[in-house]
Amino acid sequence: MNPPPPYAVYLGVRTEETGGELLFVMPFGERVTGRPGYLHGGAIAALLEFAAFGALFEALGEERPQVKPVNVTVQYMRGGINHDTCAAARVTRLGKRVANVEAHAWQLDRAKPIAAAQMNVLLRRT
């Protein structure tokens, strides 16, 4: 497995394997705070992106094509508060040249996401 990106390390993001699913967990703290007591939208978007790429690389297995995000859309549903934030993603399409991935972030209740993202990725296979 590749080392985590420096930005993930800076945000304190860690991974957990639960029930065969890869979760990305970001602790609440000063580095991820926007307005007082709430998560910064950029930190939430970064967590969703890490989860999306994690799911994509897991789906690709040993194959490591070059990946380039073509489009990323983030929907913010509610403010993130003073709790750990979890994110998970799933690949909805894995073609020869393009992949589509969905990611969701939540805090205390997975049924109440704080944000979601859709990512379209260009795959350059060698």
Q: Render pLDDT for 17-53 as a digit per residue (tens, 0 to 9).
A: 988 899 999 999 888 888 888 999 999 999 999 999 9
C-alpha to C-alpha distances, 29 to 12, 84, 117, nearest whole angstrom: 9, 9, 22
Could you tell me if 43 and 11 are in contact, meaning their C-beta atoms sit under 8 angstroms apart? yes
pTM of the model: 0.92
The verdict on residue 1 lying in a domain is no
Give the chain's domain count: 1
The tokens describing 63, both together, are 């194959």
Q: Render pLDDT for 49-86 as a digit per residue (tens, 0 to 9).
A: 999 999 999 999 998 899 999 999 999 999 999 999 99
Domain with residue 23: its CATH number is: 3.10.129.10
Domain that holds residue 54: 6-124
